Structure 1
């Protein structure tokens, strides 16, 4: 068994124009002061990283990561969530997501998807330069508007969507193979990869591509009423990243999974700071340890109620308290009497 690394913090929810969240030097000092040993970095945040330089220069990456190390934290890995989202966008969401793309490809869905794919490839190259072996992203979604089958979906609609999704991602995954990086899709609503079944549909079309893997985040499974503990055992060989994020689901006579278009604070299902929701993290960390997960436990702070800085500081201690330093030997080794094959056969009555 292996001991999980941590605590780490995903910086996407904290980067802003206000100090100490507006520069790489300051935010890494703040994260270390809050109790973190590592940070997960969103590559679209130009206040924190220059993706073009990171992809083209190992020296830049060495200096950039070195500054973080001097400030007390490691770079756990890079994130391209928003860019991965743009690899596959249903037309209903074009206007909604266009602002995440470079100006020259806005309003041009085909060019935007090609641009996004190249950005994800850059992030993978940068990951190689940094010496990390995993990268987190979103899959994007072509058939999310058709998730509820009424009216009846036309035959072949979903299959066509997943064929196209796999075709768009295969060259990116092949580049990941060249870089030695696992691509970890955060299994998430609105993405076509939103549960285990959809991940398997995608993986099948990629012929079991070895670089197609998962980020495990139990909060998204609580809100889908999915067995988040069983999920760890089913996909233990594909889970290469772990977000520590909590959630609660409290359905009423008026509202359930879909939320009634309400703001987060008024939804039956809502995200909470670690320890404030319904996820049994004791069981989660136990299963991760038993399954030899040796990556980082990264806090992704999202909470409808708590201040982010309080959530961050509490989250660091929460992860520290839950990481299991695995045992190097069995607890009952002290009563091992020692034996050999002949003794075993004698004990069993075998001549």
Structure 2
């Protein structure tokens, strides 16, 4: 049921995204903007908007806000790939490898502005439009703060688990939180329900990112659609690496962009021996349980069940 609902709602979002870019010029700019969008993706964040709206009463149309959240997410991916020097995303070349860094920056900036334009032109009452724009604006600021923290970690010998979790919250989780809260605003949620929805999305987002760090290690490059083991090569201070380093382990190939296959294999052995991969998986499950508990403020119904199943999916994919 969840997979059917994800696909059905993703199609609706894609139709909206298509109208946003239809006939847009200059052609190459908008080809860069839509490069990742047309490459696929499950539209998880827009689906969160739609389900949260339905759970809250469904007073207004959530599609413009759902599309806006996907535009913001895509903008962050483009800029993130530039900073990480990644060459693959969703199984295709990254935007900056095809259009250059300057072109990629412009594409990201265009997506950012289009997101808020889409909300501004929606049919929601003005006060709801204003609230949604405020929530997403704050999320974008937090994302930039989190990205800065992530970059700064690369130059540090050690990072605490608490610092990592703060970075993940800002860089990844706040957009899930904002997606859920925006859906609540559109749907007519009460203040308490909005807060619960935000916390649901935020905690899901933390679990999602921890799971993403695990997938970077255990999934194949074909399954990931991006460079496998890039976190080891780049010396990323993920929860896995932080845990292993706290145990006094030395991780081969950590921070070596030219690491050999054998060095990477030995790095994986270290992370498995220290129990660091399992520790990350257990932590993701703990955050998932906290997230699902936040929906207790809503009565049981089909939409609530879908949101709970979506939360499980975020942390189970790849296993």
Compare the two structures and name the one with the higher helix fraction: 2
TM-score bucket of the superposed structures, by smaller chain = 0.3 to 0.5
Larger radius of gyration: 1
TM-score normalized by the length of structure 1: 0.33
The structure that is strand-richer by fraction is 1
